[in-house]
Amino acid sequence: MRPEDVRLDLAVAKCHSCNAVYDLSGRKARGLAPQTQDKPKLVRPKAPLPEKFKVEEAAGSTVISWRWFSFVHIFLIFFCIAWDSFLLMWYGIALTVDDTPIIMVIFPVAHVAVGVGLTYYTLTGLVNRTRIEVGRNQLSIRHGPLPWPGNRDVPGRQFTQLYGVENVRTNKGNQTYTYELKAVERSGKTVTLLSGLTEKNQILYLEQTLERRLGIEDEPVEGEVAIRTTAA
């Protein structure tokens, strides 16, 4: 083939003798194009199914659900019983004794607020579940049966990328890890879809499964918890 018979911009070449046209796309013909060294491809291992997760596959969607209950909630049950019992006893005395100083009624108000919040949190841990249903065009997240913030329904094509982040809290030398699932919208805004997950494999599994169902091609994101290795 003569040089003038080769069109690199179209990736085709024409034989001047027989007028046959050849497709050069995907070929590395020496002398037709400069040789370039491909960058090593980074890949992620497939995340295993977390022990607490239940997955149901259907023709058009995937449903992932799990209970919130953990051994921490067993400790919280006894703590709430002790905390709330003390406050009930305190107010039982304060409201039945004559000439009770007003400070005895006002002082424990903050403790009552803590008790109510902690008791409700414990109850949600005992009975609540998270249910995620994802299809090509829709993502639905539900927490219940007790009300909890974070329920949402969003179009599946609203996001361009999903990724997980790790949060570390240190208390008296002990470190606690929690994980969040974040999404990048087409506008460039980052939103939090889920928070409070306690295991890294949970966030990795959710990211991969939701991206697969939503048709999102995985790309590295700065600060994400996922680790990529060079493909063999």
Give the Cα separation of 65 and 145 in Å (integer): 13
As a whole number of Å, the CA-based R_g of the chain is: 29
Which ranges in the chain belong to alpha helices (H)? Answer: 71-94, 102-106, 109-127, 200-214
63 lies in the same domain as 95: no
The answer to whether position 33 is within a domain reads: no
Q: Residue 138: what residue type?
A: Q
Q: Are 169 and 149 in contact (CB under 8 A)?
A: no
Q: What is the pTM of this model?
A: 0.72
Chain centroid to CA 28: how far? 41
- Same domain (yes/no): 137, 204: yes
Query: pLDDT digit string (tens) for 194-226?
Result: 998 989 999 999 999 999 888 888 888 888 888
Give the residue numbers spanning the domain of 120. 72-125
Residues 215 and 138 in one domain: yes
110 in a structural domain: yes
Domain count within the chain: 3
pLDDT tens digits in sequence order for the chain, 232 residues long: 777 777 776 677 777 777 777 777 655 444 444 555 566 666 778 889 999 999 998 878 899 999 999 889 999 999 999 999 999 998 888 888 877 788 888 888 999 999 999 999 999 999 999 999 998 788 999 999 999 999 999 887 889 999 999 999 888 888 888 999 999 998 889 999 999 898 999 999 999 999 988 888 888 888 888 877 765 5
Q: Are 62 and 209 in contact (CB under 8 A)?
A: yes
Both 224 and 162 in one domain: the answer is yes
